[in-house]
Structure 1
Amino acid sequence: MRNTARWAAALGLTATAVLGPLTGAATAATETSSLVLTARYGDTYSALSADATAAPFSEVTLSCSPHASGTHPNAKEACTELRRVNGDLDALQPEPGVMCPMYFDPITVTVNGVWEGRTVSYERTFGNACVKNTYGSLFAF
């Protein structure tokens, strides 16, 4: 009985040593991309904002590999936008020509997770919901 367990362990270790590098090459091409996005009222930079520590009013998940999925309402479009900017959330720009009302009702969006193997921790405060939504599908949740 002990010999069987030893052989099984030895065979498992040998398979890992031989096949490990081959499977590593396959997974490197499809890095993990899974994010959690939250939105809450308030401006984290303003001590005057009563809602600065408010609980999120919206939270969605977004996974872009191997295909777009999650609870994000526009997962496919959001993943396309992220791929276009190579995961650089600061590179996202508002849609040109969109007019928003000029009132201050700040919404802070956070994005945390992994994009193509890199850790993501992002936060941005928008002047109001209209402004947030002009930055494309990613923030329109």
Structure 2
Amino acid sequence: MCPVMDSGKSFLRNLFPRDQGVFDMRYATKGLGLGAALTAVCLAGPAATATAGPVTPAGSDRPSGPSVLVLTVAGGEDPATAPERRSAVLTCPPGPTGTHPAPGRACAALRSVDGEVGALVEADTDRICPMIWDPVTIKAEGFWEGREVSYERTFANSCVMEGATGPVFSF
């Protein structure tokens, strides 16, 4: 049975904590991607859970599987308290899709570094950015070819962040 359905609590109560006095968009955007993924797995049933792990094609050492990332840009130094400014979902194979405005370019950039978001750093060394301290924290969570991805980094400002990460966090 699906753990989301077995919890005995409303799915929305799990996504939106009660201690928040007002509606907070951070919880809504985080819950939407996760909720959609959990719903798809729960509705698919045993067929989806039987093949949920990384699959290695015949004659290949490299695992393959889903490449779905939730990309988040937040303002502030502390990732735990930084208010989310924007987020996008990026799905790469079989074709680049998602809510990202340029999924093809973002997937190509990630493919060039084998999904290692940290390897994108310093992608554009010719970029000139102002020396203004307006910290921006990025986060990438999800799966790349079946491997779990969890990356987080704080940059001095959005110009430095866009120069370092290229098209992946340009949304």
TM-score, normalised by the number of residues in structure 1: 0.73
1:41 is matched by which residue type in structure 2? G
Which protein is bigger by CA-based radius of gyration? 1
- 2:103 corresponding residue in structure 1: 75
2:170 maps to 1:140? yes
CA drift at 1:96: 2.2
TM-score, normalised by the number of residues in structure 2: 0.60
CA drift at 1:89: 1.2
Displaced runs of 4+ in structure 1, greater than 4 A? 23-26
CA drift at 1:88: 1.1
Spell out, residue by residue over 1:81-125, the C-alpha distance to the aligned partner (whole angstroms, 9 max, x if none).
Answer: 100000111111230211000011000000000000000011011
2:73 maps to 1:39? yes
**DSSP 3-state at the match of 1:43:** coil
**DSSP 3-state at the match of 1:112:** strand
CA drift at 1:29: 7.4
CA RMSD of aligned residues (A): 2.5
Aligned mates of 2:63, 2:94 — CA distance in 1: 11
Change (3 A) 1:29 1:56: same
Provide the aligned length of Structure 1 versus Structure 2: 114
- 2:147 corresponding residue in structure 1: 118
Aligned mates of 1:24, 1:120 — CA distance in 2: 18
Percent identity between the two aligned chains: 43
2:107 maps to 1:66? no
2:111 maps to 1:87? no
Aligned mates of 1:77, 1:91 — CA distance in 2: 16
Gaps of 5+ in 1: 1-15, 46-51
Aligned mates of 1:44, 1:101 — CA distance in 2: 22
